[in-house]
Amino acid sequence: MRKMAEAGCCLLVMIFIYSLNQGNGQDAGNLGVLHVEGSKASEDFCIAYNSRTRLPSDLDKTPKYPLVEAKSPLCKSSSSPSDYMKDAAVAIHRGECTLFAKGEIAQGHGAKEVIIISNDTLFTPDWNSSEVLTIPMAVISKNDWTKLIHKDFGVSRLVQLYAPPTANIDGNLAILWILAVGTVAFGAYWAGITNSKLLTSIRQGIAVVNENNGQESEDGSIEVTPLMVVIFVVLICGTLLLLYFFYNYLVYVVIVLFCLASCHGLYECLTPIILWLPLGSCKVPANKICKSQPQIRILILILFCMAMAIWWGIERNKSYAWVLQDILGIAFCISLIRNIRLPNLKVCTILLVLLLIYDIFFVFITPLFSAGKSVMVEVATGGGSKEQLPMVLKVPRLKKSTLSVCLRPYSLLGFGDILVPALYIGFCHSFDIMSNTPRKIYYLATTIAYGIGLLLTFVMLFVMQQGQPALLYLVPCTLITGYVIGWLRGDLKRLWTGRMGPDEPLLTSGNESEDEILSREGPRTPQDPPETQRLIKTEN
């Protein structure tokens, strides 16, 4: 019953993970930046401009003008004083006449720039080709204008309209690469050690001795079957579609799930470190609340993990929240990598290939019958909502550009692009340990292949200038690497069936004595891994 509950919880969490992918395919063609600077603060806002208007590309070479708000819609010339518009950037509310008419009147009063305040969202200002406006005109959204006028910039506001060059490749991708590869390498390494200790005991019903107290250790991992993989892929397809149509409601469900799951993941990752420290080992006195009497340090750790998750949940839209999200996300990924076990290469291949097809379909195929919009990208970027799904690693862009201000201030990598290859690499590490392969060749080679695949994803992101399904590059790199090494070493059959060691025993009924097992399989040799040598007989 406990196994079924754990499997259900992990399946539910994993379903939401695959609603995400990296990037966004929007075009930043006619978008620019309104830089507002005051004595107390400065901030950038997204604007849209007409392609016939030329804006500077370098902020240092862009002229500064005081920002003033027009006292009328500027739809007809007025005899009232208008000196306040001279040599200024004039903000005009939309309505009552054409944009060109507003710009022409403002230009006639000596304005240097015109900023149209939209009634709703951004749109590209346009006018007839025969009409000529010599000053720049741009449009700002109603939300951004409200934010601008309510922020305290100081006594005066100086603004600059410019269009910095757009580039999909940014220095933050190097940070994202290090975080992703580090998470995969550490998670798969830990998973390999854990799985190698439990693998034979799980399959045979033989217990593993706990080195600390001599008791039988508890198996908390979940072994994935081919049927579970198929059901999982079908469910994530349905979940992604539900998120696409009911995003504004389900996003809060995902946020709550992430807080709970990441809190547990952080606890699992920090527990070994806390237990290693020689502090706080005394237990809580007996009381009615804590019947199990946990150690003081464990209780403090639980409170710390809860505080981290709650802190992120409250501050998730602040500028620094990405740091908390990445810490919680990495701990969550490592926890899942350690606790979900792929038993053989057959299951690994089915999982990776099906999710590769899923990734390609929802990124590249769905735009053909959904008005040009990718279902995956719409869900990953929030589809215009203020809330975004948290199941991603995110790093803010280091270079200022139109893309970073208007469309993608962060580079994203979905947890699925970390977890799926990492589960396979964890299986490879288990095989290395149980088979005594030289220099852990499978683990090292597939980890390196993952890093190369992620670099290839970033390169294609730059070449195609749109969001990429990372598994399109990660799956072939990691899976083919494992197959090639297995073929060269003659291990493919054992990898495919999941026989981790050359002398791995067959499954037992759990009722055989130690003498019967040894007589049927032969004695263990000194070359067997230490994890196998620590196996003891099952309870008769």
How many angstroms separate the CA atoms of 128 and 225, rounded? Answer: 64
| Nearest one of 412, 431, 366, 391 to 191, comparing CA atoms | 431
Two tokens at 151? 């922020």
| Nearest one of 129, 79, 68, 125 to 102, comparing CA atoms | 125
* Whether the Cβ atoms of residue 18 and residue 263 lie closer than 8 Å to each other: no
List the catalytic residue out of 326, 359, 432, 528.
359
For this structure, is 60 an active site residue? no
Two tokens at 353? 């290939």
Give the H/E segment covering residue 138: strand 137-140
Coil/strand/helix, residue 410:
strand
* The dihedral formed by the CA atoms of 241, 245, 249 and 250, expressed in degrees to the nearest 10: 10
Cα 19 versus chain centre, distance: 10
For this structure, is 359 an active site residue? yes
List the catalytic residue out of 44, 326, 417, 432.
417
C-alpha distances (whole Å) from 56 to each of 5, 62, 79, 239 are 59, 6, 34, 45
Handedness of CA 381, 386, 391, 392 (dihedral sign): positive
Coil/strand/helix, residue 414:
strand
Two tokens at 513? 């004595």
Catalogue the E-assigned strands of 269-387. Answer: 340-341
Running DSSP on this structure, what letter comes out for residue 363? I
What is the chain's alpha carbon radius of gyration, rounded to the nearest angstrom? 29
| Nearest one of 397, 537, 532, 525 to 461, comparing CA atoms | 397
Beta bridge partners of 222: 340
How many angstroms separate the CA atoms of 348 and 40, rounded? Answer: 56
How many angstroms separate the CA atoms of 194 and 223, rounded? Answer: 13
* Whether the Cβ atoms of residue 102 and residue 139 lie closer than 8 Å to each other: no
* Whether the Cβ atoms of residue 467 and residue 374 lie closer than 8 Å to each other: yes
How many angstroms separate the CA atoms of 404 and 406, rounded? Answer: 6
Handedness of CA 297, 299, 300, 301 (dihedral sign): positive
Q: Which residue is associated with the tokens 């995003």?
A: 247
* End-to-end Cα distance, the chain: 23
Two tokens at 260? 């709970």
Coil/strand/helix, residue 137:
strand
Enumerate the active-site residues. 359, 417
